[in-house]
Amino acid sequence: MKSNIKKQLVNFYETMYRMRRFEEEIFEFYKKGMMAGLAHLYMGEEAVATGVCAALKEDDYLGSTHRGHGHLVARGADIKKMMAEILGKETGYSKGKGGSMHIMALDKGILGANGIVGAGIPIATGAAYSAKYRGTNQVAISFFGDGASNEGTFHESLNMASAWKLPVIYVIENNLYGISVDTRDVTNVTDLADRAHGYGIPGVVVDGMDVVAVYEVAKEAVARARRGEGPTLLECKTYRWQGHHVGDPANYRSRKNPNEKAEWMKRDPVVILKEKIIKDEIASEAEIIKIENEIEKEIQEAVKFAAESPYPDVSEAFTDIFA
């Protein structure tokens, strides 16, 4: 294996481990009553954002979702400012006005996470139009779930992006459930990627638990977009470890197969990648532990920063309405 690919696998692991630890701490905040409201955890889906974002350049755009922490971590967003935002602190990305569901990091090309399912899809499509208009060769990624693929915005956006050959990659994170509703009960196609054919664009199904597989298809889709050949629809088959949000025990997932969650968790993308790295001698266990320890330090600093940061003054509620 070439050394740059080896190095990339270690980078993938670093990003995925950071996502995992970040969200474990968010879940702790919730359990300890430190976090107002709710958060939708990305745990289990780490390989998707990691693989897709590895195919991007620094100035590319990304439209995120309510389950967006992983997307931001993958783009290298500041985890201190993310955590502070999730706790509603004035040091957060949005000074406490957005919370978990609306973290925006424009400096990382993040066009906003979105509380409305499917609403980010046309916004990312517009960013792709903007890139084409300005001739910058940037691409836009639009992440969304299986649920959003049933929204009108999905269909309208794919249609226009295809008609105008826009540099955008649509990524369905198919975790099988729209809150409690099983996608297989409300959609009569096995692969949502098949919907691409209705818009005359490639539709690709990939194992969303395999970061390398995701990276390979994303790389091709990004290259196609940069060549001016238009959009691609990627469907990443994945699973969320937790419920729809931190307060959802997700009992509904055992109704068809009592072992469903356990079976998916055997394919933990973070664990599988770590085992592969060590087994293939890409890095030693000691080297991996060193990386984990460094990330742990980063996470603990972020937790401390977020917990100790002040809440915004009420006057902050009245700013940033108009430019």
Tell me which stretch binds another protein (CB under 8 A): 6-14, 130-138, 175-183, 204-212. 130-138
Quick check: 272 binds another protein (CB under 8 A)? Answer: no
Quick check: 131 binds another protein (CB under 8 A)? Answer: yes
Shortest distance (Å) from residue 4 CB to another protein: 31
Q: What are residue 131's phi and psi, to 5 degrees?
A: -65, -45
Quick check: 148 binds another protein (CB under 8 A)? Answer: no
C-beta closer to another protein: residue 51 or 88: 88
Tell me which stretch binds another protein (CB under 8 A): 158-166, 199-207, 254-262, 265-273. 158-166
Quick check: 76 binds another protein (CB under 8 A)? Answer: no
Q: Name the strands in the sheet holding 61-63, side by side, starting at the edge strand that comes first in the sequence.
A: 61-63, 140-145, 168-174, 232-237, 203-207
Residues binding another protein: number (CB under 8 A): 46
Among 52, 82, 111, 303, binds another protein (CB under 8 A): 111
Quick check: 147 binds another protein (CB under 8 A)? Answer: no
C-beta closer to another protein: residue 84 or 205: 84
Quick check: 314 binds another protein (CB under 8 A)? Answer: no
C-beta closer to another protein: residue 142 or 238: 142
C-beta closer to another protein: residue 38 or 212: 38
Closest CA to 49 of 69, 23, 66: 69
Q: Which spans of this chain sit near another protein (rule: CB under 8 A)?
A: 61, 63, 92-98, 102, 104-106, 111-112, 114-116, 119, 121-134, 140, 152-153, 156-157, 159-160, 163, 319-323
